[in-house]
Chains A and B, each alone.
Chain A
Amino acid sequence: MNDLIPPHTRGESVFVDDIPEPNNMLQVAVFVSDIPHGKIKSLDISKAEKGKGVIRVITAKDIPGENQLGRIIQDEELLAKEKVDFIGQPIAVIYAETKEQANKARNLITIEYEELQAIFDPREAAKKGSLIAPSRTFTLGDVDSIWDSCETIVEGRADSGGQEHVYMETQGSLAIPREEGRVLLYSSTQNPSTVQSTVASILGFDMNKIEVDVTRLGGGFGGKEDQATAWAAFCALGVFYTGRPVKLVLDRNEDITITGKRHPYSTDYKLGLNEEGKILAFSADCYQNSGAAADLSTAVLGRTLFHLTNAYFIPNVQVTAYPCRTNLVPYTAFRGFGAPQGMYVIECALSHAADESGIPISVLQKKNLLVDGDQFPYGMHVENAHAKRSFSKVVEDSEYEKLMTEKEEFNAKSKFMKKGISVMPICFGISFTSIFMNQAGALVNVYYDGSVNVSTGSVEMGQGVNMKIKTIAARSLSIDPKRIRVESTNTSRVINTSPSSASSGADLNGKATEFACLKIIERLKDLVREKLGKGTVSLEDETVYLDGVKTELVWEKLIWLAYTNRVNLAAQALYATPGIHFDNEKEKGKPFAYHVFGSAVTEVSVDCLRGTYTIDKVHVVHDAGRSLNYLIDLGQVEGGLVQGIGWMTLEELQYIDGKLISDALATYKVPDVHFAPEIKTTFLEDTENPHAVLQSKGIGEPPFMYGIGAYFALKDAAQAFRADKEWEYIAPLTPERLLLFLHDLE
């Protein structure tokens, strides 16, 4: 269980908007662009400045430091100065006594544009040379020399849509003025140090003048990795100009409209098989819709390339990806970080090849699964592969063969209701693909009453990292977890944090916690030897043993003894993942500490009369290493899976001329309780992982990609109704797309 959950059930856990509001606090409204591309000819804020309750209105020229948000590539203004590049781009910020007054004043701002031609399609952008950064290519073997020897070759196009995060808590921040112009920021961010450094640079401050504190997030999913910064910056600018506390929490519609989402992709693929179904060659050109600014797009693009071959060994690969600049909101991190988009493509290609060759897709998948020693296109060799194990186990556990027979029988008898089944194996690399980010700090403080506070760089957003940290600290210190409190994430306690993302939060911060705890344990052991005499000292269940013999020294006594002997009871440690490297020139290296494997079988029903469907059941066999917390890991599997299914089915970003029209929860539909399938999850046993803390494995992102299986199960069912028609690989497979496939309109 997760011991930290009870206050959540009582509504007592505090999110940014729940922090008691300080006296004199100002509220914020953000004035944004309503055209996708244009030069700002004139901007008039004078009426807004005179609005009731308005204290201050700022525009780009009021920014004291750098007007810049970009973390990887500096190409994104905080406030548009001369030109706007997408609908929803912030242009001016209004500070007023109340939210209503700020919103009213926003309507008093007038702006004139000279409209410029806008691009929304990534292929069009690529054609016009509108790229965020140069394309990247991963190569293994030589595809060109192989095509001729392939028995089956399929070529096609696979498109996947974007995805809105719909973290239940919208983006927000509260800024408090401190002495000497310093600012304390409460921020709903996955990335406290980026908020700190970016806000500092915007204000023209050193980082040490900004303190960021994060207690928890009401969901993040990547949406608050880089895109939480602007809201914190607006609050900090308000403090800078007014000296008063400032809060900005976005409305849902605002949040959906003006924050980034998962990147849509459009890809051309080519896949070649031999007679038996062994994949000989695979090539792909991926057009990533990056949006109007880099944000994290280049890193997301990298992960797409890393995962384009999913859990398969392919000897000849040539894959290229283009980050295409368009006039849409800058797309950003979202659980899986480009990997789902890549895996979707290879699964489309395999499905296409199965249709073409007549070899069942599950046979193709199984035949090509990774085994130890196989090489990825990026040069790394597979170790501790569980691809085959998980695949076989899920086939066995779900009684796949029986399901297939029942499905065939059912479909033969039923005219409009059709069942479909798919298997979806996954392989996901754990580590930030920017090597330097694979570091984390922890600070462990033992108070002289024996209670312990742990601070790390990881942010709790529902993924249960705080409970895992607590468990790691308790095991490392051999004490009751009840003595341990995991503190908020605070840039004054733990510095230079990497974001809580890439499924690495517990891995990195947990290991740093272990290191810090062990430093204290070493000091305590030295003390014991000094006091009780030489020998082997050990701690078990809060008791000190000397040469295996129980002593009188229990935890509280030991700590008091340490304190009175002036032993340092605070320890800081840094963990940096060893053994990883990557050569960006050659696109080869060992970028991941390890890989996570697993497989899922998905059962669906399609109502071919109405074009509607249900995702009935998903069987998952997942490799979680030695799980640190069964219930937390189960929750990550179930939640990630359902989010992945949502991406493939219902969740559709619909735009008209660059304006998002599915901009509310009434029109952007995420899975509800009726839509969620029944899920049966089994964790693989004997999968100890020497490359992460206490033999565990990262778990946040990999299960998301089981959701891709829903798409192919639906395709299977739909084709049982329309075997005559060619399939177009477009996701999400909404009821509209499905009905238009199932029936021809006269």
Chain B
Amino acid sequence: MKLILNQKVLETSESPSFHTLDFLRKIGIKGVKEGCHEGDCGACLVLIGELKDDRVKYKAMNSCILPLGKIEGKHVVTIEGLNLEEKLNPVQQALFEEGGVQCGYCTPGFVIALMAYFMNEDLENTEIITAIEGNICRCTGYNSILRAAEIASKKISTLDDSKGRITALIEANYLPSYFSKIIKQLKEIKTQPQLKKGTFVAGGTDLFVNRQTVENPIFLAELGFDKIWSDENHVYIGAAADIETIRTSAELNALFDTAKHLARVSSLPIRQQATIGGNVVNASPIGDLTIYFLALDAEIGLVLGEDKRIMKLKDFFKGYKILDLKDGEILEWSRIRKEKKLLSFEKVAKRMYMDIASVNSALSLRIEDKKIKEPHLSAGGVGPIPMYLEKASQFLENKEISSEVIKEAARIADTEISPIDDVRGSAKYKRLLLRQLIYAHFVELFPELEMSL
């Protein structure tokens, strides 16, 4: 397969399942570091550039869980490919001047993360802290890194973006000049057709953790499963749509506060790789997206050759990691009804960001004549599957909201769950936490209730 690594087109016969980090280090690119090999520290971040709307769009990705097949035909940039000959770029200079570097091991990852931010003028409405939320630094306590990011931001904000940010960065000599030729190279580079038989891979953020791998991967995004679209009644989310795309999608944000709800899912680099399809099919009892869409009473479309079927997402999970999925069948999309509802999403983990929930939960409902209509309550981390809380949902139907009703719903929910003691918390804690999160849903949706709970 071919790809562009920094300023060179490169051909390799390595397996498409080989981890990009291990590949890069094997060929002597040592600026990319291994910190955890599971997407939890950002020391291995690289920029992945691809053509979008006749522009090259770059995003920072964790190379440790990124199979080579996913970057075929794309531009891979490591710290070596960002370095200027005679000087530091504004990010590097600011990190140096503000004390944003101590041991230096995590530093290339931070530089990549911040450059990804600055290379995308679209990201200007996003807070800069988001750019580095996937990076762990154990030395500095982050204050100096944030100071540096602000200083670099000020410097870069003075550039004239009329010809695009990347051109502006090149002209300011903040990016090496070879970046101007990448668009042409990306258009010319040939990629191989996807395999006919093999293992379907969506984002791969779970499959490729800790050097695990799969044989003969077929990448769903390359098959066009990564779109979000809508018809008259539904919004469809392709199985390979990544979480960041979902989070920022206009279709969903017209209906709900999805951008806010999903901001605490993982970190930006992981959100750009992980997909809804992976989250659902992985059947993790704690998947944030699954819990979110369960509360929207989502349906899923499955395809096996010519055969297609549609089912409720809540009926898809049969037991711990057991799905109603036939051999060879693929999850094609998830869909929700195109209607405005009140929606609350709650997640508590040890850390607010970049962490797996101890318990997560979502609730959607409408209010008609002061009564709750079509309530759907879901919860993760409290049973062997991502749970749709049928009884509690049914109980809420047609009820007027009061603290008694909410407390009773929480009591009923408690009878539906079977949490266990594990690394995410004791069973006792998870029961208490779900109760509190159910209260929190109502406090979020109806703040006037706060005092009565």
Contact = CB atoms under 8 A, between A and B. Distances in A.
Interface of A: 1-2, 5-15, 17-18, 20, 165-170, 216-219, 221, 251-253, 415-416, 461-464, 609-612, 614, 631-632, 634-635, 638-643, 650, 652, 654, 661-662, 664-667, 669-676, 678-679, 734-736, 739-740, 743, 745
Contact of B423 (A9, A20, A610, A667): A667
Contacts of A641: 141
A499 to B, nearest CB: 17
B129 A665 contact: no
Nearest to B421: A656
Given A11-B80, A216-B103, A735 B348 contact: yes
B38 A676 contact: no
Contacts of A464: 102
A464 B429 CA distance: 43
Contacts of B101: 2, 5, 8-9
A667 B353 CA distance: 13
B52 interface: no
Interface in B321-346: 346
B441 to A, nearest CB: 11
13 contacts: A9-B88, A9-B107, A216-B104, A217-B103, A218-B104, A251-B37, A635-B99, A638-B144, A639-B102, A672-B142, A673-B132, A675-B351, A678-B143
Task: Identify whether the interface residues of A are mostly helix, strand, loop, or mixed.
Answer: loop
Contacts of B132: 673
A12 B436 CA distance: 49
Contact of A740 (B37, B210, B428, B439): B428
B135 interface: yes
Interface in B125-178: 129, 132-133, 135-146
Contacts of A461: 103
Interface in B46-103: 78-80, 83, 88, 91-93, 95-99, 101-103
Contacts of B93: 9
B97 A1 contact: yes
A9 B96 contact: yes
Interface in B424-453: 424-426, 428-429, 431-433, 435-437, 439-440, 443, 450-451, 453
B32 interface: yes
Interface of B: 28, 30-38, 40-41, 43, 78-80, 83, 88, 91-93, 95-99, 101-108, 111, 129, 132-133, 135-146, 210, 346, 348-356, 358, 422-426, 428-429, 431-433, 435-437, 439-440, 443, 450-451, 453
Contact of B425 (A635, A642, A736): A736
Contacts of A463: 102
A6 B96 contact: yes
Contacts of A634: 99, 144
B358 A735 contact: yes
A671 B141 CA distance: 8
Contacts of B34: 17, 170, 252
Contacts of A10: 31, 79, 83, 88, 92, 108
B138 A609 contact: no
A673 B133 CA distance: 6
A745 B428 contact: yes
B111 A168 contact: no
A646 to B, nearest CB: 9
A734 B351 CA distance: 9
Contacts of A217: 103
Given A11-B108, A671-B142, A739-B433, 16 more contacts: A8-B103, A252-B37, A609-B439, A635-B99, A635-B102, A661-B423, A665-B35, A666-B38, A667-B356, A667-B424, A674-B354, A675-B352, A676-B142, A679-B141, A735-B350, A735-B358
Contact of B144 (A8, A635, A669): A635
Contact of A639 (B80, B140, B424): B140
B105 A168 contact: yes
B436 A743 contact: yes
Contacts of B352: 612, 614, 674-675
A676 B92 contact: no
Contact of A612 (B41, B78, B348): B348
A661 B425 CA distance: 11
A244 to B, nearest CB: 19
A252 B36 contact: yes
